[in-house]
Structure 1
Amino acid sequence: MLDFFRNHKRLMMFMLILVIVPGLGFVGIQGFRGFFDESANVASVNGHKITRVAYDDAMRQQLDRARQMLGAQFDMKSFDTPERRKEMLDGLIEQRVLADETQRLHLTASDDAVRRTLLSDPVISSLKNPDGSIDVNRYKELLAMQGMTPDQYDERVRYTLATQQLPGSIEGSAFTSKTLAQHLTDLSEQQREVQSLAFNPHDYASKVQPTDAQLQAYYDAHRNDFATPATASIQYLVLSPATLAAAIQPGDADLKKYYDENIAHYQTAPQMRASLILVSVAPNASAADKTAAKQKADALLAQVKAHPDDFGKIAEQSSQDPASASKGGDLGYFGPKMMAGGPAFDDAAFKLKKDEISDVVTTDVGYLILKATDVKPSVTQPFDTVKDAIAKDLTAQMAAKQFSDDSDGFTSLVYEKAKSLQPAADKYKLQIQTATVTPQPNTGLPPTSPLNNPKFLSAVFANDSAQARNNTQAIDVGSNTLIAAHVTDFKPAAVPPLDVVKDAVRQKVIAVQADEMAHKDGVAKLAELQKSNATTGFAAPVKVSRNDAQGLPPAALSAIYKANGQKLPAYVGVDLGDDGYAIYRVNAVLPGAPIDPQRLTAAQQQIAQVEAQSEMTAYIDALRARSKVKFYGSLDAGQPGGDQ
């Protein structure tokens, strides 16, 4: 069917006109346009659109990071919530208002700052040759895989550095006095001697004898707690470059052709080692200063031409480049575009033969004299050495192209042959796999498994798939991966009758009633103790602090430190949820151990960081308040759009 649409575009366009044009009479031009305006955006900031694609990508990256961090403990429900979605959109809006302010203030980053940032990147550092230079070809290949050129990546780094300047200046200006740090640290180290008296629900469980009526009432009120989830047994196909690569085996002729066409990838860039004499010139230097500098450079050139063996000594005495002058002008090994001085430097340097001295070179940093001390020409790796790597790269490229070519056809075929995946498996040489899934992701599978994709699971459990037993659509789960499924068996969610789950219901009722009894006795005991100041029944005293809770739950520690330390002993009661109730007797307030100067300095820095974050939040809020923020549509059902 989809192939019919593609092959009869002109006919389909005429049919669409017949449908759409009369419709304009009913909804009006303006109403019709409303179906399309801003449909691809979630918000705008000062006219800059935040696209739904950008929002979805950011949300997906956040979920992927959460899956990787939490593994089997990852729960999609707790992350994909309206609150989380709003937080994500707020974050994108804050990035945009900060970028707008950066642009308004004309902030940027220097070429030197960009270069230092690039060289500090661990990935780029891994591309270094043994002599310390960067493998430029591998660097370009790495960026090409991300769809970027070196210039584009430089600009991305420059943009990032520019937008970091405002937060950096705010964080750098934050200050906390040593007195405040000392006071807060003393409070954090303060100890309290406490005794506990626990009312554990387990101790009451034997006293609970629920009646059949109570079991029935609890079951009726909590039926969904005992429901078994829907399950689907499925066959599925995965179309991706990885699944297609298994059937691709490029021949030797293909490998040799690829090698010849991409010979530059297998050539090392020329390298050289040189020594430098620099006569620097300030960018705003006068014509007279430039003339004087040029005359000085000419004199130094005459000197090194007359005594070439003394180049290092002359550089040490006269060069104005501090980094190399102390080493006799030695710059070490470098490749093209790696040194300051721009094209003029490279043009002069890479023309030199070993031991040859250049003329005076005019650059944007001043006047240079270069002496080549070693020259390494470009080296081409033999075909046999790189054959296996080429086979891997070419297979990946061919698989990626085949995926691009096959994705539409695969999508059409699983839709048109809706009762079986076998035609698609045969045509695209894919293996039909089987699995049993539920509507919720399986924590036992890798976080990146396509079987855990929410869109895919939703498609599997749609009526057309689960009940009518038609193939699902080919679902795009990201990373150039399509997955389609066919349900072979479906079991809907069901609530077992009370007789089947009666034991489980009884345990729930016992737990609830035991917990209620523990809480009731705990509250009564607390009232009694606050009148009598008794100590009987309490555990042995322990010393706790905010930094060392001695195993006490956070709620208990919070209550203990809220007790009035001037009126001791003090009693506090704490609701511990399913763990019952506990009473804590605060006997004494004790000073903490003395803080050494190093820890105090660290505390001062940490408090300053908290203050800086608070100031940064206030600054971003102020920027947002004076920005024009508009929302389109909704992130979830029921959230209206509008201006802010």
Structure 2
Amino acid sequence: MFEAIRKHSKIVMGVLFLLIIPSFVLFGIDGNYFSEKSPTVASVDGKAITQTDWDNAHREQADRLRAQQPGMDSRLLDSPQARYATLERLVRDRVLATAAQRLHLMVSDAQLARELQNIPAIAQLRKPDGSLDTQAYRALVGAQGLTPEGFEAQMRNDLAVAQVMGGVVSTAFATPAESNLGMDALLQRREIQVARFDAASYASKVTVNEADLQAFYQAHPELFRQTEEASIEYVVLDIDAIKQGLTVSEDDLRTYYKENQDRLGTKEERRASHILINAPKDAPAAEREKARKKADELLAQVRKDPASFAEVAKKNSQDPGSAAQGGDLGFFTRDAMVKPFEEAVFSMKKGDISDVVDTDFGYHIIMLTDIKPSKIPSFDELRPKLEAELRQQQAQRKFAEVAETFSNIVYEQPDSLQPVAEKLKLKIQTATGVARTPNPGAEGVLANPRFLDALFSPESLQTKRNTEAVEVGSNEMAAGRITAYQPAETLPFDKAKDRVRSAYVAQKSAEMAQADGAAKLAAWQQAPASATGLAPAITVSRDQAQQQPPRLLDAVLRAPADKLPAWIGVDLGAQGYAVVKLERIVPREAEGEAQQKALQQQYAQAWTQAEALAYYDLLKQRYKAQIKVPRPSADPTEQE
């Protein structure tokens, strides 16, 4: 049969062509022909956000941050917390985009034009006659991989989405009375004395017998359940691993230095002061003429006495940002100012005073006060940086090729990670106590849900073979295998006895401390003079906890203060109990006018943020936004 097929292969191929192609034409090519469907990790308005969407969004975010800060530790970018933050941003963007669509928020051509003009890079493309240099504009947006039409459509969408929250943010306000009331509550200080009844000090008083331990074990089986866990070994392929095997040649380094001198060197900076007389382009001609006449008079004045420039600027300049500093604008490079202003400044000599310069803002008189020439560090000075950058670039280009080799080896030789480790010079790492969900404090691949899912898949558990190569981050892959597996179980009493004893003693110690503390509270409330064991008085506030537990601090600051002194009992859970004597309210320290304004602004910002978050929560409910993956655990070192 197979011989017949070989002899008539052309006929067979033709038949297959006729049978298969029409099915694609009629039904389309589904991505599932080539890859498994990506799981849903979130949804908004009934539309899924898949694992692939999440991975792509995080990769783009990480690549942007790496481009902005090349030295950033990649582990920070690919931590579970960073990945989850990307998912939250993705959901937020979908929610706001849905709201903009449902609310029919539109952006007019005039509004779009105004916003485009507010982008400095586009504003500088204006020709002397006020028209836009379309060729330069096309090149500018083309550098971002967009056409002008695509860029403007994206701008329209962004502006429409901004309107969703803009109505809330722009109308939020707080009066000085509200601000003072809120800040009084936030910054209030209270003088207290504390008596602590620590559970640990009662441990020696707990009587333990076998029957009590057995009863405690039977009543609290969840405390002694051994979770499913595994011992594993794994290898990670990332940019750092590839960089270790790369050698950068001297010729490549010197070529890279020559090609990047402009970027690696410092640009020329100039410092200037100016006097601005406001005269917008659309102002009436008479008004502009009057402003020009005023500028000419001031120009004559400062040219006659250049030393008076700062004083004249203070009295006459209409630039609120620099007038108080005598017109000083500080140091700036090219492309930082509008074109006419920049051309004037970079054509002057130190100490020169320009003619009147006409810009969209009005008429300027400019004095060039200092020049910092550009400086290009030598090759030897930059060598470490050049080598690191070039090695990084070469590793990124090589990653796809090496990743394919990595995937093939772990699949084709599934009984060991040694072959891939030897081939690619990777380190085989081990870990114990690994669970299906990331353990508190887990980092790297051990905190990656996709890697853990692959490890605990039925096939991996049964055969203890290599997992497939799993993409765990941007330019990062991993493969692992289980070496030992412990299924979930409730430990028998004999194995758990020490844990039972510790838990029993801890519970009884806390109960004794709480009972003793509550009794002392009742007695001291009846006879305050009998109170003993109170620590010296301290003053606490929300920003000055004085090393007091959060529960205690919260209870003290929430307690009514209409009748003082007051006695407060605080259950500290496993830590025991505390009795607090609230002595008095300590007035806030007097603030200067500037500090008061800063506090009012801080309160207004917090109020605005609270309103925005409340509105966003409402939108999430309205459009049924849901994240289907658990939030990563907090740092276990952070205690309540």
The TM-score bracket by the shorter chain reads: 0.5 to 0.7
Distance 1:605 1:272 in 2: 33
CA contact (8 A) 2:44 2:625 kept: yes
1:580–1:190 Cα change, 3 Å = closer
Structure 2 equivalent of residue 483 of structure 1:
478
1:585–1:39 Cα change, 3 Å = closer
Give the structure-2-normalised TM-score: 0.61
Distance 1:416 1:55 in 2: 29
One-letter amino acid of the structure 1 residue matched with residue 397 of structure 2: K
Structure 2 equivalent of residue 430 of structure 1:
426
Shift of 1:478: 1.9
1:21–1:574 Cα change, 3 Å = same
Corresponding position: 1:630 with 2:623: yes
Structure 2 equivalent of residue 640 of structure 1:
none
1:284–1:338 Cα change, 3 Å = same
Corresponding position: 1:215 with 2:213: yes
Distance 1:110 1:232 in 2: 56
CA contact (8 A) 2:183 2:603 kept: no
What are the within-5 Å matches in structure 2 for residues 209-358 of structure 1?
209-212=208-211, 214-228=212-226, 230-266=228-264, 268-270=266-268, 281-290=279-288, 312=306, 321=317, 334-339=332-337, 342-350=338-346
Corresponding position: 1:617 with 2:610: yes
Deviations 1:80-121 (A, max 9, x none): 9x9x99998986688779999998799999999988xxxxxx
CA contact (8 A) 1:208 1:513 kept: no
* Alignment equivalent of 1:405, drawn from 401, 404, 425: 401
Shift of 1:511: 4.3
Structure 1 equivalent of residue 129 of structure 2:
none
Distance 2:580 2:254 in 1: 82
Shift of 1:240: 1.1
CA contact (8 A) 2:564 2:583 kept: no
1:599–1:313 Cα change, 3 Å = closer
Distance 2:386 2:453 in 1: 40
CA contact (8 A) 1:98 1:620 kept: no
Structure 2 equivalent of residue 641 of structure 1:
none
Which segment drifts farther, 92-101 or 288-297? 92-101
Shift of 1:616: 5.1
What are the within-5 Å matches in structure 2 for residues 74-223 of structure 1?
173-176=174-177, 188-189=188-189, 203=202, 206=205, 208-212=207-211, 214-223=212-221
CA contact (8 A) 1:474 1:483 kept: yes
One-letter amino acid of the structure 2 residue matched with residue 617 of structure 1: A
CA contact (8 A) 1:275 1:312 kept: no
Structure 1 equivalent of residue 389 of structure 2:
393
Distance 2:598 2:369 in 1: 49
Structure 2 equivalent of residue 450 of structure 1:
445
Question: Any idea what SS the aligned residue of 1:394 has?
Answer: helix
CA contact (8 A) 2:464 2:481 kept: yes
Distance 1:613 1:567 in 2: 31
One-letter amino acid of the structure 2 residue matched with residue 236 of structure 1: Y
Distance 1:450 1:318 in 2: 64
Distance 2:310 2:521 in 1: 86
Shift of 1:483: 1.4
Deviations 1:354-392 (A, max 9, x none): 899877654323456778788787665555554443222
Structure 2 equivalent of residue 7 of structure 1:
none
Distance 1:199 1:327 in 2: 60
Distance 2:87 2:369 in 1: 61
One-letter amino acid of the structure 2 residue matched with residue 215 of structure 1: L
Distance 2:38 2:455 in 1: 32
Distance 1:92 1:102 in 2: 16
Structure 1 equivalent of residue 417 of structure 2:
421
Which segment drifts farther, 236-245 or 430-439? 430-439
Shift of 1:251: 1.5
Give the structure-1-normalised TM-score: 0.61
Question: Any idea what SS the aligned residue of 1:418 has?
Answer: coil
Shift of 1:449: 3.1
One-letter amino acid of the structure 1 residue matched with residue 427 of structure 2: Q
Shift of 1:472: 1.6
Question: Any idea what SS the aligned residue of 1:467 has?
Answer: helix
1:569–1:416 Cα change, 3 Å = same
Shift of 1:538: 4.8
What are the within-5 Å matches in structure 2 for residues 28-67 of structure 1?
42-43=43-44
Question: Any idea what SS the aligned residue of 1:42 has?
Answer: strand
Question: Any idea what SS the aligned residue of 1:598 has?
Answer: coil
Shift of 1:394: 1.1
CA contact (8 A) 1:529 1:571 kept: no
Q: How many residues align?
A: 552
Structure 1 equivalent of residue 455 of structure 2:
460
CA contact (8 A) 2:239 2:395 kept: yes
Question: Any idea what SS the aligned residue of 1:173 has?
Answer: coil
RMSD across aligned positions (CA): 6.5
Question: Any idea what SS the aligned residue of 1:176 has?
Answer: helix
Deviations 1:593-638 (A, max 9, x none): 555533999799768856764565346545775899423675259x
One-letter amino acid of the structure 1 residue matched with residue 335 of structure 2: K
CA contact (8 A) 2:231 2:482 kept: yes
Structure 2 equivalent of residue 135 of structure 1:
none
Question: Any idea what SS the aligned residue of 2:591 has?
Answer: helix
* Alignment equivalent of 1:471, drawn from 459, 466, 470: 466
